[in-house]
Copies of this chain bind each other. A is one copy, B any other.
Amino acid sequence: MKLSLASIALLAASASAFTTSPAGRVSTRLAVAPGETKASEKVVQAFADKPEEDPEFDALVKSNFPGAINNRDLATRVVELLEEKGFDPSNTLLATSLCADELARVLEDEFVSIYGNNFNLGGLSGFPFAGNTGWGAMSAHVPDNGYCLTIHGPHVGITKEGQIGKVERSGIALVDNCCGSAIAASNYLKGITDGSANINPRIQQFTDFQQGAVQELILPFGKRLARADERMRELPYALYDSQEVMVTDIVNTGKASIKQGLAVLGGIQINTAPDQLDYFHPLRFDYYDADGNLVENMLPYLR
């Protein structure tokens, strides 16, 4: 089914539905008491059932992805930095833009264990497809006088043997593609770069909009991927750069609507076998104040 969106010449300003009105106020306040459980204590709980770091595999991951740290270290450092700013589990809304893949839930769940249920901005390959309206709704859900932590990025698998772009999955003998959407986009782009792509009449199909968008947004990186020593290692970084186009538009449009402060953590999620810790390569960790001004680059503290 293909919809003629262009045939509609009217669009009510959808953000108006999220403006708040005093008429809706009630006398009871449902907030958890601030500081009830510190976020840094929750990090320990969130990783209690996770495997310990495997030094040999850790070295393998870091030789392939210099700058990557395991998710336990990531959460520990992020939470410590945000505690200094005033973020705690009772006053912080987590928003994520991560891939649809169930493996992308691993990082999400770890942070959900700390800050509570996430608003989900993401879709295939981790692009923030919930868009401006999603951001508007999300910012209305930030606790009163509270904060927002967004985590975004593509993901990539690495097997125990160090193969990039594949990963062991629980219950499946096949060591399958990760990220599938990214690899599909990479194959599409390779076809264009090589001049071997076939005409497909299902371009712009409404029921496959997200993949079409991923494949559109990665187009400028054909040469970069073709030149890469290892295409599968370069792919998530190219996708991250593609994604920044959307992320920047959405954050810049909506950043001033966040109540107290906004932290934007972007990077590459690195999925590993079920018995290993996952990893993350942070590429952006920006802090915006209540007026939406970028006031601190916290990325150096994650290195």
**Of the residues B16, B133, B209, contact of A208 by C-beta under 8 Å:** B133
**Of the residues B12, B25, B137, B212, contact of A200 by C-beta under 8 Å:** B12
Q: Are B173 and A144 in contact (CB under 8 A)?
A: yes
**Could you say which residues of chain B place their CB within 8 Å of the CB of A208?**
14, 131-133
Q: Are A119 and B102 in contact (CB under 8 A)?
A: yes
Q: Are B8 and A216 in contact (CB under 8 A)?
A: yes
**Of the residues B138, B143, B187, B210, contact of A130 by C-beta under 8 Å:** B210
Q: A48 at interface (Cβ–Cβ under 8 A)?
A: no
Q: What does the 1/0 interface line of A185-202 toward B look like (CB < 8 Å)?
A: 101100110000111101
Name the CB-closest residue of B to A245: B1
Name the CB-closest residue of B to A182: B17
- Stretch of A79-87, A103-111, A223-231 at the chain-chain interface: A103-111
Q: A10 at interface (Cβ–Cβ under 8 A)?
A: yes
**Could you say which residues of chain B place their CB within 8 Å of the CB of A144?**
171-174
Q: With A10-B192, A203-B11 in contact, is A100–B119 under 8 Å at CB?
A: yes
How far is B175's CA from A70's CA once the two chains are assembled, in angstroms?
A: 39
Q: With A137-B101, A205-B132 in contact, is A215–B32 under 8 Å at CB?
A: no
**Of the residues B11, B100, B197, B207, contact of A12 by C-beta under 8 Å:** B197
Q: Are A25 and B105 in contact (CB under 8 A)?
A: no
Report, nearest first, the 8 A-B pairs whose CB atoms are least far apart: A143-B171, A17-B184, A11-B200, A133-B211, A12-B188, A14-B184, A137-B180, A105-B117
